Amino acid sequence: MQHLETERIAAFDHEEPSSEELAHLAACTVCRTERNAFSALNQRSMHMGDAALYSPAPRLTNWESLSTRLRAEGLIAGEAPTAVVHTSNVSQPIAMESWWQRAKPRNNSEFVRVIAAVLVFTVTGAGINQMRKDRAASATAVGGTSTASIDLGLGLGNTGFASLDEATKALAQTERQIDRITTWITSNDPSATKSALLRKRLAALDRMIAAAYAESQTAPQDPVLDHYFHSAKAARELTLKQLGGALPVGRSLERF
């Protein structure tokens, strides 16, 4: 029996097999195995990018030298960095800084309220409305000494979406908001020095990532699994940075 050309089998995800080729596949175990192997290869290739994010390889750039050049080119403003800890990079001037500068809480109670707001935001994220009606979530300090107002853009009046496109856009916007909020929390978390707590969080996030990744192998196109995987990854990166900040000056921790 003449087997199908390997390159032809490699193209089956682009071009449907002909009826002759289908008949051959039905009868030939070798070619069927090859077709399955190519499917597996394609799946693995799709996840190569994710796997690379966990590489222990050192960073290709460092903020100190990069920021010097960015300043020289007039792309960023501000003084040259002086701190050497890994997390010193968090406070460098960047495009979205003004948002969390405005929203900075002043004590632990406010911080807890912000966390609560984020949790509510995350839990209800899948069902939130189309973000047209941004709503400010106020965080008032216990004791009445200070007040901070954070525009979370929640639009919690849930009436559904007009289309998949609209829901997808809302989800993307939500993810951007979560990125900003978690980044802000990272920069302002007063418990950042409690490394035991951070390590516990990190271990939990690792389990979440592993579970989402394992399940995505059988459902690679599932947007919910994908969302949880990437959210957990982002939270893991931020926790790592916080943990780095809890280490002595000059030390950083890339992995736990």
The one-letter code for the residue type at 185 is: I
Give the Cβ contact number of residue 216 at 10 Å. 19
x-or-dash pattern for another protein, window 115-154, by CB under 8 A? ----------------------------------------
Closer residue to another protein in complex, CB, 52/164:
52
In whole angstroms, give the CA distance from residue 115 to residue 210.
24
- By CB under 8 A, the count of residues binding another protein is 51
105-136 core/surface letters (b: 16 or more CB in 10 A; e: else): beeebbbebbeebbeebeeebeebbbbeeeee
Give 2's DSSP letter: P
Residue 26 as a binder of another protein (CB under 8 A): the answer is: no
Give 1's DSSP letter: -
Give the Cβ contact number of residue 13 at 10 Å. 11
x-or-dash pattern for another protein, window 222-251, by CB under 8 A? ------------x--xx--x----------
Cβ 7 to another protein shortest distance, Å: 5
x-or-dash pattern for another protein, window 170-209, by CB under 8 A? --x--xx--x---x---x----------------------
The candidate with the shortest Cα–Cα distance to 69, out of 58, 57, 81, 83, is 81
Residue 255 as a binder of another protein (CB under 8 A): the answer is: no
Cβ 88 to another protein shortest distance, Å: 10
In whole angstroms, give the CA distance from residue 2 to residue 30.
11
Q: Across the strands, what pairs with 150? A: 137
Q: Which stretch binds another protein (CB under 8 A): 37-45, 132-140, 159-167, 193-201?
A: 37-45
x-or-dash pattern for another protein, window 40-69, by CB under 8 A? xxx-xxx-xx--xx-x-x-xxx-x-xx--x
In whole angstroms, give the CA distance from residue 25 to residue 19.
10
Site for another protein in 205-224 (CB under 8 A): none
Q: CA 123, 128, 132 angle in degrees (round to 5)?
A: 140
Binding site for another protein (CB under 8 A): 6-8, 10-11, 14, 34, 36-38, 40-42, 44-46, 48-49, 52-53, 55, 57, 59-61, 63, 65-66, 69-70, 73, 75-76, 89-92, 94-97, 172, 175-176, 179, 183, 187, 234, 237-238, 241
